[in-house]
Structure 1
Amino acid sequence: MRKWLTRSIFFYFIYGLIVYWYLFIFSGSGIPAPYEGTSADPKTFMSGRELILSQEYSTIRNFLYFVTIPFEWFLLFVCLITGLSKKMKEWASATSRFFSLQSAIYFFWLSLFVTFVSFPVNWIGYKISKTYQITTQSFSSWMKDEIIDFWVNYLLMTVIIVVLYWLIKKFEKRWWLYAWLLSIPFSLFLMFVQPVIIDPLYNDFYPLQNKQLEEKILALADKADIPANHVYEVNMSEKTNSLNAYVTGIGSNSRIVLWDTTLNQLDDDEILFIMAHEMGHYVMKHIYIGIAGYLLLSLIGLYLIHLLMRKIISRSGSLLRISSMKDLAGFPLFLMLLGMLTVASNPLANTVARYQEKSADMYAINMTGDHQAAISSFQKLSKAGLSQVNPPSLVKIFRYTHPTMLERIVYIEEDLESNKND
């Protein structure tokens, strides 16, 4: 146990050094020479101070992201190899003879352990955002959201654990297939209820107060044959200075949502471009394509977890204190493998997402015909979030679900030039 813990800490330390070297020393985020002085060059729309802050903030946040990913895996590994997970299972078993209640108690202790040890890392992320004035949220408000996160995740995951281990016990060789089949209605249900049950736990949503702007947005929706009756705004200015807008939910619970920071900092033409972008996702059915892609990756992922868990337990079950795949104490191994496979799939998922975002951008341009509003909105998004216009390659591959701001502004300008030539 000591040997494996020592090795884990050593490799984690080396990994952190490599990430630090890549982000702070090796990689650059400058603008390629052909684009210097263009509207894609942050020097044309950011002050010198904003340039420095965006570089510092983005680099620190990227570093924190990359070193945090394996940190939770390490905690789960510690739970297994020290026997803590096994001890938690024994506590739960002694409390009740009902497996569902045992699972709920076990996962409560596991969640509490991971949350407690991870809290300093999460707090550092909060303080960094607060220092750079991206976060405007008070500590008490941030803690409230953290507590809500804990209980929402706990309740959802408890349901998943009970069903998952029931399937493993009943169908040891095919549990992954039945789990995947059940995940389809469960995922659709969550997407349906999220706008009306989960999201309001964190923020207040209400119909857009600017009725003139709402009429313009609904006119765009009518032009795109989108059956929208309301546009919602959310009071995100209490928590952040960043800008955002999105479409959430499915079916009758679909919503177009604008952050009030977006309403406060963008002009109407810029907001209309962003709304046309979100409508592009709806028209091109990106939500449903995304669901299909998620379900396909889930099927592959669950099957791989089945194979890997069976192999790991057969070889190292005694070391990890797991007697079989049916053993509830082995759930941290499930979470570790799920996390690793999720990160491994991010480059593919993000590539597809970036393609969809570009398609939505071009749809919005075709609908509004306002290239300048598109460019200025991208510039303001970069300023408000202190985001890098041209991030390092690995950051883009693993973190960016949207094209970089450099790419977005460049292809909008190229489309503008193409239209002029035509």
Structure 2
Amino acid sequence: MSHRVLAASVLGLLLVALATVLVLRVPWSSAPAPRADQVAALQSLPADAVAKGRAFHSALRPGTYGALVVALLFAVVLGLTPLGARLVELVGRPFGGHWLAQALLGGLAIVLIGELVTLPFAAWRQSVVREYGLSTQTWGGWLVDLLKGYAVGAVIGGVALVGFFTVTKLFPRWWWAVGAVGAAVLMMVLTFVFPVLVEPVFNKFTPMEAGQLRTDLLALAERDGVPVKDVLVADASRRTRAVNAYVSGYGATRRIVVYDTLLAEVSEAEVRSVVAHELSHAKSNDVLTGTLVSALGAASAVLMIYLLGAWTPLLRRAGVDDIGEPRAIALLLVIGTIGGLLAGPAQGFVSRKVESRADTHALELTGDPATYESMMTRLATVNLSDPDPNPVEQALTGSHPTAVERIAMARAWARAH
């Protein structure tokens, strides 16, 4: 059996495993509330808040979609022409063209240029966020956060690139198998280290002061059967007025994290309602599900890359001889960019199903649909959400049910109980 046939067979098995995880772990039965209930929910929201949220998202769209188009064009120009390969060669030339210099410095150069060509759109989005009063950052603070993001991405990307091309160098015939395992392991490692090493780069986390709210949140987690290590407050107010909370980490690193903006904007009952939603993700092991999906997806991506490497016209267009050489970094970029765009709607669909289950769980845990509805209304208002976006846009980019879907669901739950 040839390596191509074997790799294709393993890819088929991984895709079956991925489908099995999704079928067993995702609540496919959940469905949005009837449209009539959503319309009623929309009409109950403050008209000025709805108008402002829609205007805000309308102002963001040129920057958002402009960045997507430019990023795709950049990837195509570098990856489907010899320009990308020549750039990698040029960057590695001062180091004698060594493969390690090409892999690390060439990859970072391509990513950096890609970030620079989309930087005007990021600045545009930030200007809109500032104009609408959602951002509390100065331009200097925004730039510092941007540079931090670049640095974190460079470290993770550098590790991935050096690891990938080390494997292709050491295992020229079996790199597809070793690389698939390595990609899956990397995804699992990131799940554990992200809360401990990456989150503190962007926010300061302090234990919530002893008091009734902290006691209530820990009791809520205990009643839900979700062990948490601590309740932390993130200093989100230094960059935004948006409100949020989440349960971060897994096992010994799991903690409830509450934005300080949430504590300032909503009642304690609404904070408990938000946290009840987030506890669902821990109780249902959504982090584990996401890790499995990411690991299987990353392994499958490596195998797809290997199989695409057999397509000679593609290699010729990119000006490379082998997809496993560092000069093919730009080709890997365009494959990853297109793959990400195609996978995005499916990922959003799965996410909306999971979030819908968390909404129901929060209602069952608190038994307080009125507070849940008021909390959703406040979140939509403070975060400048479009409570009822265009269905096509929601299907393509939405990660959560819309605000009117969630309010209508809470009302339906109240009627049923």
Calculate the TM-score normalised by the size of structure 1. 0.85
Question: How many equivalent pairs are there?
Answer: 383
The answer to whether 1:367 aligns with 2:374 is: no
Counterpart CA distance in 2 for 1:98 and 1:60 is: 46
Query: Is the contact between residue 242 and residue 385 of structure 1 (CA under 8 Å) also seen in structure 2?
Result: yes
Letter in 2 for 1:160: A
Query: Is the contact between residue 382 and residue 389 of structure 1 (CA under 8 Å) also seen in structure 2?
Result: yes
Query: Is the contact between residue 184 and residue 298 of structure 2 (CA under 8 Å) also seen in structure 1?
Result: no
Counterpart CA distance in 1 for 2:314 and 2:179 is: 25
Give the C-alpha shift of residue 266 in structure 1.
1.0
Give the C-alpha shift of residue 364 in structure 1.
1.2
Give the C-alpha shift of residue 220 in structure 1.
0.6
Give the C-alpha shift of residue 309 in structure 1.
3.9
1:277-335 per-residue CA deviation (whole Å, 9 max, x = no partner) reads 11111111111112122223223333223223432xx1143443223213312111112
Letter in 1 for 2:352: R
Letter in 1 for 2:58: T
Give the C-alpha shift of residue 82 in structure 1.
5.9
3-state DSSP of counterpart to 2:233: strand
Query: Is the contact between residue 195 and residue 255 of structure 1 (CA under 8 Å) also seen in structure 2?
Result: no
What pairs with 1:134-213 in structure 2 (closer than 5 Å)? Answer: 134-172=134-172, 174-209=174-209, 211-213=211-213
Which residue in 2 is equivalent to 1:11? Answer: none
Query: Is the contact between residue 62 and residue 395 of structure 1 (CA under 8 Å) also seen in structure 2?
Result: no
Give the C-alpha shift of residue 271 in structure 1.
0.7
3-state DSSP of counterpart to 2:389: coil
1:229-249 per-residue CA deviation (whole Å, 9 max, x = no partner) reads 421110111111111111222
What pairs with 1:8-407 in structure 2 (closer than 5 Å)? Answer: 35-36=38-39, 38=40, 40-41=41-42, 43-48=43-48, 50-80=49-79, 81=81, 83-96=83-96, 98-172=98-172, 174-209=174-209, 211-311=211-311, 314-407=312-405
1:58-99 per-residue CA deviation (whole Å, 9 max, x = no partner) reads 133344333322321211233343625413323314325653
Which residue in 1 is equivalent to 2:409? Answer: 411
Counterpart CA distance in 2 for 1:244 and 1:91 is: 42
3-state DSSP of counterpart to 1:206: strand
1:219 and 1:34, CA in 2 relative to 1: closer, same or farther beyond 3 A? closer
Query: Is the contact between residue 233 and residue 258 of structure 1 (CA under 8 Å) also seen in structure 2?
Result: yes
Give the C-alpha shift of residue 173 in structure 1.
5.3
Counterpart CA distance in 2 for 1:352 and 1:99 is: 39
3-state DSSP of counterpart to 1:296: helix
1:51 and 1:154, CA in 2 relative to 1: closer, same or farther beyond 3 A? same
1:207-236 per-residue CA deviation (whole Å, 9 max, x = no partner) reads 113622100000111111222242111011
Query: Is the contact between residue 218 and residue 229 of structure 1 (CA under 8 Å) also seen in structure 2?
Result: no
3-state DSSP of counterpart to 1:310: coil
Query: Is the contact between residue 353 and residue 402 of structure 1 (CA under 8 Å) also seen in structure 2?
Result: yes
Counterpart CA distance in 2 for 1:317 and 1:182 is: 24
Query: Is the contact between residue 315 and residue 323 of structure 2 (CA under 8 Å) also seen in structure 1?
Result: no
Which residue in 2 is equivalent to 1:22? Answer: none
Letter in 2 for 1:361: D
3-state DSSP of counterpart to 2:329: helix
Give the C-alpha shift of residue 157 in structure 1.
0.8
Structure 1 segments of 4+ aligned residues over 3 angstroms from their partners: 31-36, 96-99, 169-174, 316-319
Give the C-alpha shift of residue 412 in structure 1.
1.0
Counterpart CA distance in 1 for 2:37 and 2:97 is: 69
Give the C-alpha shift of residue 121 in structure 1.
1.4
Letter in 2 for 1:384: V
Deviates more, 1:107-116 or 1:164-173: 164-173
1:188-210 per-residue CA deviation (whole Å, 9 max, x = no partner) reads 22221222211111111111136
Calculate the TM-score normalised by the size of structure 2. 0.86
Counterpart CA distance in 1 for 2:347 and 2:222 is: 31
Letter in 1 for 2:374: S
Deviates more, 1:101-110 or 1:132-141: 101-110
Letter in 2 for 1:112: L
Counterpart CA distance in 2 for 1:85 and 1:209 is: 55
Letter in 2 for 1:69: L
Query: Is the contact between residue 88 and residue 102 of structure 2 (CA under 8 Å) also seen in structure 1?
Result: no
Which 5+ residue runs of structure 1 have no aligned equivalent? 1-30
3-state DSSP of counterpart to 2:134: coil
Counterpart CA distance in 2 for 1:347 and 1:92 is: 37
Q: In angstroms, what is the RMSD of aligned CA positions?
A: 2.1
Query: Is the contact between residue 243 and residue 381 of structure 1 (CA under 8 Å) also seen in structure 2?
Result: yes
